[in-house]
């Protein structure tokens, strides 16, 4: 059969099935292959919070969405071009996200009476014509792999487990991807189990061949390689990037690394990664609770380590007292808060940006500290290093805000050459002459760092207010005022040491979109689309939230209206107003979902209409 070839700028596909169907795996393999052929990629794993949800149920559906394209891909995409649905529940849950006219490959073996009942379908949707808006391809993948592997020695259970690889093979034909990257991965994974390796390779190839020969697939889609900067790349999650960022920051500072942490979704993977870095001499303590997590990190920092603690909302609540201690002790500490929906236990696996207030104000007393935020999965690497740089240079705890969306999603990360990254220079004091614990660098106002073990520098510090310079306990009214002022000035001064904010589009005008943190991709997509339509709108995205870049006020004053989209009820909006007395328009969403580009587009279009 003659196949047509169609060129696309980008495509969105989603693998969906039961928790045990291996959807996360094939999603990862597809995105790595797409990266390796030079596409930009952005992914979002969407899996249940239950560990082993009952088979076939609606709440046990696990999915993995990938957007890949020729140009810069900033988000995992909105509507799905291709849905692979391994059972009835996965179809039901994901159908609302499929484009009208989109392709659905459904494993008909997953639509038996039992599965239909679990998915609460009265009739089989593959047979009742209810999916006429879509291009539906029902295939009994279970039977196909059974037939393919009829001569194999592997068990029937293992045969059935290759369904996902067969589906992956089909998608590789549909989007013209090579098999070699996946084959190499299979060899690494099953190298010692020859029969399983051979079966998976066979099924992968069979999937590709099936799609190639099948009459149902009339079109093959091609996406040209992106214009990406040369170098080594890998798809990386935000949590992995943060963990590597900590190791690299310690390396650049020539300091040993310590992580004190307590497991909490969706931050736990950072602890997982770090605990496996013993070959890099990284120490960690899985503490008895969140408080001990941060306190042990403070102890290690006191001992001269680059120390970090990782957490999510409820954990940050528990850590705030100790963070206040780090503020007054003036010790460096990196606190990574992977934000999730709150309050309380809230939505543990879902993203939100609602910890900004707590990062900014969530301590008793006057206790300012620097706050930075990452814009994407790979940016978690850069911003972790930035948090460590500020912490060490200014002798202060720093909060890095990421969120469950960028922490668990991936995008290609251009692996840096370590020499490209600037050194971080901790200022340890070793000379007892003229030493005082709260003597400061006149430029940064950071105090000197004298660690235990340094002969002649024995001294005491603590949570009671310190006398300026000597660090002795002081209740003196004027001294307290002075110390509060110094600590505030130290943090404010960091504004001189961070990049200026950048405006895309006109530098002044009617409407500016101001974003921060993990919503970058969605806003950027919306902005690019609006600009391509000739709309007059500008965009500025913040990664430094305390202090703000020095030029932010000037930027904000150059626009008549400011739109601030954020996944909270207006926290940045409120801080901007209280800092600059500048009002703005909020686009606020707290649904446990990432921000979508069309939501920003719609809002901007609505605002632009008002002007007309």
Partner 1 sequence: MNTVVDEIRFRQHEGTVEYTPKDFKAGIDVRWCAGCGGYSILAQVQRIMPTLGIPKEKIAFISGIGCSSRFPYYMDVFGVHSLHGRAIAIASGLKVARPDLSLWIATGDGDCMSIGGNHFIHACRRNINLNVLMFNNEVYSLTKGQYSPTSQQGQVTKSSPLGVLDDPFNPASLALGSGASFVARGYDGDPKYLQYLFERAAKHNGFSFVEIYTNCVIYNDGAFDLFTRKDTRNEHSVMLEHGKPLIFGDNKDKGIKLDGFTPKVVSLTDGKYSVDDLLVHNEKDSTLAFILANMTYNQELPRPMGVFQAIERTTYEQKVEDQIAYYSGKPGAGKLENLLIDEDSWEIK
- List the one residue from 223, 242, 322, 501 that touches partner 1 (CB under 8 A): 322
Residues 471-490 that bind partner 1 (CB under 8 A): 472-473
Q: What are the phi and psi torsion angles at 370 (to 5°)?
A: -70, 145
CB of 378 to partner 1, least distance (A): 12
Counting contacts by CB under 8 A, is residue 232 touching partner 1? yes
User: In this structure, how many other beta carbons lie within 10 angstroms of the beta carbon of residue 279?
Assistant: 6
Residue from 49, 219, 345, 430 in contact with partner 1 (CB under 8 A): 430
Residue 260 lies near partner 1 (rule: CB under 8 A):
yes
Region 158-197 residues binding partner 1, contact defined as CB under 8 A: 181, 184-185, 188
Q: Which stretch binds partner 1 (CB under 8 A): 32-40, 169-177, 210-218, 361-369?
A: 32-40
Q: Which of 195, 209, 321, 553 binds partner 1 (CB under 8 A)?
A: 321
The reply to whether 357 sits near partner 1 by the rule CB under 8 A is no
- Angle (deg, nearest 10), helices 23-36 and 180-190: 130
Cis ω for the linkage preceding 547 (within 30 of 0)? yes
> What is the number of alpha carbons within 13 Å of residue 557 lying toward its C-beta?
8
Interaction pattern, residues 374-413, with partner 1; x per rule: CB under 8 A: ----------------------------------------
Is 255 one of the binding residues for partner 1 (CB under 8 A)? yes
Which of the residues 276 through 295 are near partner 1 (CB under 8 A)?
Answer: 277-281, 283, 285, 287-289, 291-292, 295
Please report how many Cα atoms fall inside a 13 Å half-sphere around the Cα of residue 152, on the Cβ side.
25
SS3 435: coil
**Beta strand 538-542 pairing with 509-516:** parallel
Q: Cα torsion for 581, 583, 584, 589, to the nearest 10°?
A: 90
- 121 vs 449, beta carbon nearer partner 1: 449
| Residues numbered 410-429 forming contacts with partner 1, rule: CB under 8 A | 415-416, 418, 426, 428
Selected range binding partner 1 among 47-55, 166-174, 247-255, 518-526, rule: CB under 8 A = 247-255
Report the distance separating Cα 425 and Cα 301, nearest Å.
15
Distance from C-alpha of 340 to C-alpha of 312, rounded to nearest angstrom: 7
Among 135, 158, 205, 459, binds partner 1 (CB under 8 A): 459
**In this chain, which stretch among 2-10, 109-117, 119-127, 241-249 interacts with partner 1, using CB under 8 A?**
241-249
Encoded tokens for 116: 């239909």
**Taking a C-beta distance cutoff of 8 angstroms, is the pair 15, 63 a contact?**
yes
Q: In the bound complex, what is the minimum distance in angstroms from residue 280's beta carbon to partner 1? A: 6
* Phi, psi of 16, rounded to the nearest 5 degrees: -135, 140
446 binds partner 1 (CB under 8 A): no
* Residue in 25, 457, 582, 608 binding partner 1, rule: CB under 8 A: 457
Binder among 191, 462, 476, 550 for partner 1 (CB under 8 A):
462
Report the residue from 234, 440, 482, 529 that binds partner 1 according to the rule CB under 8 A: 234
The residue among 21, 46, 156, 136 whose CA lies nearest residue 83 is 136
Question: Residues 20, 236: contact at Cβ < 8 Å?
Answer: no
Nearby residues of 177 by Cβ (< 8 Å), 6 or more positions away:
30, 33, 34, 37, 171
* Closer residue to partner 1, CB minimum distance, 156 or 462: 462
- Judged by beta carbon, residue 426 or residue 505, the one nearer partner 1 is 426
How many Å apart are CA 488 and CA 52, to the nearest integer? 49
138, 126 Cβ separation under 8 angstroms? yes
In terms of C-beta density within 10 A (0-12 exposed, 13-18 middle, 19 or more buried), how is residue 66 classed? buried
- Distance CA(435)–CA(119), nearest Å, equals 71
Q: How far apart are CA 315 and CA 284, in angstroms?
A: 17
CB of 484 to partner 1, least distance (A): 19
Cβ neighbours around 534 below 10 Å, total: 6
Chain centroid to Cα 388, Å, comes to 18
Binding residue for partner 1 (CB under 8 A) from 191, 231, 365, 499?
A: 231
Task: Pick the stretch among 93-101, 166-174, 230-238, 439-447 that binds partner 1 (CB under 8 A).
Answer: 230-238
Tokens 């590789």 sit on residue: 172
Q: How far is the CB of 237 from partner 1 (least distance, A)?
A: 12
Selected range binding partner 1 among 105-113, 137-145, 253-261, 477-485, rule: CB under 8 A: 253-261
What's the min distance (Å) between Cβ of 522 and partner 1?
Answer: 25
- Each residue 518-547 as x (binds partner 1 by CB under 8 A) or -, in order, gives ------------------------------
> How many residues does this entry show for the chain?
612
| Among residues 213, 452, 536, 569, the one that binds partner 1 under rule CB under 8 A | 452
Q: Between 37 and 607, name the residue whose CB sits nearer to partner 1.
A: 37
Find the part of the chain contacting partner 1 (CB under 8 A) among 33-41, 136-144, 154-162, 504-512. 33-41
């Amino acid at each position: 059969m003659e196949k047509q070839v169609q060129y696309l700028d980008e495509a969105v596909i989603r693998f969906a099935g039961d928790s045990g169907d291996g959807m996360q795996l094939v999603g990862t393999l597809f995105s790595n292959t797409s990266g390796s052929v030079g596409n930009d990629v952005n992914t979002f794993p969407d899996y249940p919070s239950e560990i082993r949800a009952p088979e076939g149920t609606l709440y046990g559906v696990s999915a993995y969405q990938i957007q890949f394209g020729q140009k810069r891909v900033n988000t995992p995409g909105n509507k799905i071009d291709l849905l692979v649905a391994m059972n009835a529940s996965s179809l039901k849950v994901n159908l609302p996200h499929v484009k009208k006219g989109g392709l659905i490959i459904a494993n008909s073996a997953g639509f038996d009476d039992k599965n239909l009942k679990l998915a609460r379908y009265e009739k089989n949707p593959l047979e009742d014509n209810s999916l006429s808006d879509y291009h539906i391809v029902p295939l009994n993948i279970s039977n196909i792999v059974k037939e393919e592997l009829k001569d194999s020695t592997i068990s029937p259970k293992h045969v059935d487990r290759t369904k996902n690889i067969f589906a992956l093979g089909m998608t590789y034909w549909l989007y013209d991807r090579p098999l070699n990257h996946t084959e190499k991965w299979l060899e690494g994974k099953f190298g010692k189990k020859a029969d399983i390796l051979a079966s998976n390779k066979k099924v992968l190839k069979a999937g590709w061949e099936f799609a190639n020969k099948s009459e149902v697939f009339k079109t093959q889609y091609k996406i040209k390689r992106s214009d990406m900067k040369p170098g080594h790349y890998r798809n990386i999650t935000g949590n992995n990037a943060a963990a590597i960022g900590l190791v690299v920051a310690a390396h650049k500072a020539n300091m040993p690394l310590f992580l004190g942490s307590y497991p909490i979704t969706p931050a736990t993977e950072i602890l997982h990664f770090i605990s496996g870095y013993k070959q890099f001499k990284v120490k960690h303590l899985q503490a008895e609770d969140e408080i001990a997590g941060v306190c042990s990190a403070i102890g290690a920092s006191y001992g001269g380590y680059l120390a970090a603690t990782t957490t999510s909302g409820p954990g940050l609540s528990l850590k705030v007292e100790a963070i206040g201690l780090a503020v007054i002790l003036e010790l460096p500490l990196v606190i990574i808060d992977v934000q999730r929906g709150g309050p309380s236990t809230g939505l543990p696996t879902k993203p939100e940006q609602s910890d900004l207030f707590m990062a900014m104000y969530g301590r008793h007393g006057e206790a300012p500290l620097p706050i930075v935020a990452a814009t994407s999965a790979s940016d978690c690497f850069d911003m972790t290093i930035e948090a460590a740089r500020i912490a060490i240079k200014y002798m202060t705890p720093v909060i890095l805000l990421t969120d469950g969306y960028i922490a668990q999603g991936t995008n290609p990360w251009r692996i840096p050459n370590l020499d490209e990254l600037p050194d971080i220079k901790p200022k340890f004091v070793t000379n007892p002459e003229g030493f005082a614990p709260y003597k400061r660098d006149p430029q940064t106002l950071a105090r000197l760092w004298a660690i235990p073990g340094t002969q002649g520098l024995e001294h005491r510090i603590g949570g009671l207010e310190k006398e300026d310079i000597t660090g002795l306990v002081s209740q003196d009214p004027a001294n307290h005022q002075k110390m509060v002022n110094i600590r505030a000035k130290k943090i404010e001064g960091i504004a001189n040491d961070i990049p200026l904010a950048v405006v895309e589009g006109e530098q002044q005008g009617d409407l500016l979109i101001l974003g921060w943190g993990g919503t970058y991709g969605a806003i950027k997509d919306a902005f690019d689309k609006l600009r391509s339509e000739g709309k007059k709108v500008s965009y500025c995205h913040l990664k430094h939230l305390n202090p703000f870049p020095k030029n932010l006020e000037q930027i904000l004053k150059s626009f008549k209206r400011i739109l601030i989209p954020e996944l909270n009820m207006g926290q940045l909006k409120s801080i901007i107003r209280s800092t600059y007395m500048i009002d703005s328009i909020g686009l606020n969403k707290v649904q446990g979902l990432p921000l979508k580009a069309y939501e920003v587009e719609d809002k901007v279009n609505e605002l632009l209409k008002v002007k007309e």
